[in-house]
Amino acid sequence: METIRARYAAGCDGGRGAVRREAGLTLRGTRYGRHRWYLGDVRADGLDRHCQHVWMSPEDGILSLFPLPGTDIFQFQASIPAEDEHPAEPSLELYRRIFADRAGVPGVALHDAGWAALYRISVCMARAVLDDSTARPHMVMRAAEEGDGARAQRHLTDDFTTGLTIAYLGSALSHRGSGPSRRVDAGDRAPDTRYVDSAGRPVRLFDVFRGPQWTLLAFGATGIRSTGSLHVHPVDDPGGEVRRAYDVTDDELVLVRPDGYVAGRGLAALDVWRRAHDVALAAQA
């Protein structure tokens, strides 16, 4: 038995886990009964492991197979239609039928389901967290104390979604300037682009973005250097592929967040990184 004293304990063992129970924290919130998903780990023969595969339809919703890095396993994710009041029990056979109906890709075989589960979306909180604004933490705490998880989440994220996410447009993690709109702007997913630099080396932007760092795409000369969590990537793009993908016509900077979304364009976008950097330093103090 080892005793550890710490300022914080991160309970990542679920709502019924030991951390929450031993701390005496009561979870109160809201369950969204019609937002349900089939989840599981499966192996899939005949499916490319270099990307996530997603199929969407207005009738069935979303089907996704995501390759888990360092393994030969895909995570299976399939939304359950809202009108299905009595969904079937999750199983490998069910997942095979869902894949056949929604994807219809020939030559793909699902097997070896390590686990399968039916997941229901819930928003529950015990104590509350803080955000970048000065007023919002108090609103989050008040809503959480009143057991209104949905309202607490709206205060925390600027938007209501079925999961606890960060609203991209208009949030503190995006900066959209007053200039003309671009095809790729703050809050948009940063496009993946492959190109060959002037030395003949192949480059893929998704490989450049890979990791926990912020990436500053520098089109043209810049005096900014990589530092800490900020990686400066000079775009040496003689063929112009990246400029076309990012709608760049002149020397410019494009800041990409660690989650792969554009934080903003131009020098002003660096303020987004500075705020996030200051928050990270404060959390470590």
Supply the CATH number for residue 206's domain. Answer: 3.40.30
Q: Are residues 115 and 135 in the same domain?
A: no
Residue 131 CB neighbours (<10 A):
19
Query: Are 213 and 258 in contact, with CB atoms under 8 Å apart?
Result: yes
Q: State the pLDDT at residue 31.
A: 64
User: Does residue 10 form part of some domain?
Assistant: no
Could you tell me if residue 24 is inside a domain? no
- The model scores a pTM over 0.85: no
The number of beta carbons lying within 10 Å of the beta carbon of residue 16 is 8
Final residue belonging to a domain, choices 88, 105, 122: 122
Name the domain count of the chain: 3
Could you report the average pLDDT of every consecutive run of 10 residues in the chain (285 residues)? Answer: 78 69 70 80 93 90 91 93 89 95 92 88 53 38 42 40 42 74 84 90 92 92 87 93 91 90 88 77 55
Question: Residue 278's domain spans which residues?
Answer: 194-284
Answer yes or no: do 57 and 95 share one domain. yes
At residue 29, the pLDDT reads 65
Domain-located, residue 209: yes
- Asked if residue 137 and residue 114 are part of one domain, the reply reads no
CA angle 10, 11, 17 (to 5 degrees): 165
Residues 210 and 163 reside in one and the same domain: no
Q: State whether 39 and 118 are in the same domain.
A: yes
118 lies in the same domain as 132: no
3-state secondary structure 49-108: CCCCEEEEECCCEEEEEEECCCCCCEEEEEEECCCCCCCCCCCHHHHHHHHHHHCCCCCC
- Give the Cα separation of 36 and 60 in Å (integer): 12
Distance, CA of 205 to CA of 259 (rounded, Å): 13
Decide: helix, strand or coil at residue 218.
strand
Using alpha carbons only, give the angle 74, 80, 83 rounded to the nearest 5 degrees.
Answer: 170
Does residue 95 lie within any of the structural domains?
A: yes
- Is 82 inside any structural domain? yes
Residue 198: left (phi > 0), alpha (psi -120 to 50), or beta?
alpha
pLDDT reported for residue 153: 42
In this prediction, residue 284 carries a pLDDT of: 55
